[in-house]
Amino acid sequence: MPAEEFVAGWISGALGLVLGHPFDTVKVRLQTQTTYRGIVDCMVKTYRHESLLGFFKGMSFPIASIAVVNSVLFGVYSNALLVLTATSHQERRAQPPSYTHVFVAGCTGGFLQAYCLAPFDLIKVRLQNQTEPRAKQPGSPPPRYRGPVHCAASIFQAEGTRGLFRGAWALTLRDTPTLGIYFVTYEWLCRQFTPDGQNPSSGTVLVAGGFAGITSWVAATPLDVIKSRMQMAGLKQRAYGGLLDCMVSSARQEGLGVFFRGLIINSARAFPVNAVTFLSYEYLLLSWG
């Protein structure tokens, strides 16, 4: 099983992640809290209240976890294609796989990475939603979780392993089809701008990666909102009877627009993150020959 794809997936994922984290924090807050009027208001309040550091809350854990998550995604994707089409990464330019195979391989990678991602994503969302400033102010209560390890340990103590997988179903439903879309968009755009049999140029990879990110995030946003809410359930949010209950009651209370919360910020984040992810992934694999 080619291992380079796993390593390339990890490094490229980490680079993309740092770039996108401030957008991600604003998104999670907009999706789960009602105190902000919009993107700018949320940014201003976060900055005033928590300084620049506020935007990077909950980042240390995703950085550690991206090693697992992105390498599972890209590693499984590439190896699934190997099984489906009997071509390695290097051979795929000369013999491009069909879009159906790309889609199936992407969904397989998406499904498996969702399970690895679930506990990390839960902790990220919980930490991002702590709006208390870092420096302790007299009279204000301390944040509930002291950091990622404390957060994981408290959830585990209170609810066991199941608690750590809160929202995992919504996450799996969000990621399985949308990561299929992700790789299909990337492949399709690369092929549009690249002569047959050649490697896509860096510019093409950046643009194709960026749009692959946007397309898959647009498709993923409705379930992203539900996922974030289910992860917060029982804390700041009311508890839901399940995924469907969360969807229905969110829509009833806030209208259908609720499913598009965070769409603009998700897309703005997705372009640079995924442009950098794909560029570094392709570059690393090329340089390892």
Ligand X SMILES: C[N+](C)(C)CCCC[C@H](N)C(=O)O
Q: Which stretch binds ligand X (CB under 6 A): 25-33, 195-203, 233-241, 270-278?
A: 270-278
Q: Which stretch binds ligand X (CB under 6 A): 47-55, 93-101, 172-180, 248-256?
A: 172-180
To 10 degrees, the CA torsion angle through 22, 27, 32, 37?
100
Residue 281 interacts with ligand X (CB under 6 A): yes or no: no
The answer for residues whose C-beta is within 8 angstroms of residue 84's C-beta and 6 or more apart is 97, 101, 104, 105
Task: Determine which residue in the list 120, 183, 217, 240 makes contact with ligand X, applying CB under 6 A.
Answer: 217
Task: Determine which residue in the list 31, 108, 130, 178 makes contact with ligand X, applying CB under 6 A.
Answer: 178
Residue 176 interacts with ligand X (CB under 6 A): yes or no: no
Task: Determine which residue in the list 208, 220, 226, 230 makes contact with ligand X, applying CB under 6 A.
Answer: 220
Compute the distance between CA of residue 222 and CA of residue 261 in angstroms, rounded to an integer: 8
Q: Which is nearer to ligand X, 143 or 180 (CB)?
A: 180
Q: Which residue has the tokens 């796993």?
A: 6
Residue 213 interacts with ligand X (CB under 6 A): yes or no: yes
Supply 72's token pair: 């599972």
Instruction: Find, among 20, 49, 230, the residue nearest to 143 by Cα.
Output: 49
Q: Which is nearer to ligand X, 118 or 143 (CB)?
A: 118
Compute the distance between CA of residue 245 and CA of residue 174 in angstroms, rounded to an integer: 17
Residue 21 interacts with ligand X (CB under 6 A): yes or no: no
Total chain residues near ligand X (CB under 6 A)? 14
Compute the distance between CA of residue 26 and CA of residue 46 in angstroms, rounded to an integer: 8
Residue 200 interacts with ligand X (CB under 6 A): yes or no: no
Q: Within 13 Å, how many C-alpha atoms sit on residue 138's CB side?
A: 0
Minimum separation from the CB atom of position 214 to ligand X (A): 9
Q: Which stretch binds ligand X (CB under 6 A): 129-137, 197-205, 214-222, 241-249?
A: 214-222
Phi-psi region at 95: left, alpha or beta (left = phi > 0; alpha = psi -120 to 50)? beta
Q: List residues near ligand X by CB under 6 A.
A: 13, 16, 174-175, 178-179, 182, 213, 216-217, 220, 270, 273-274
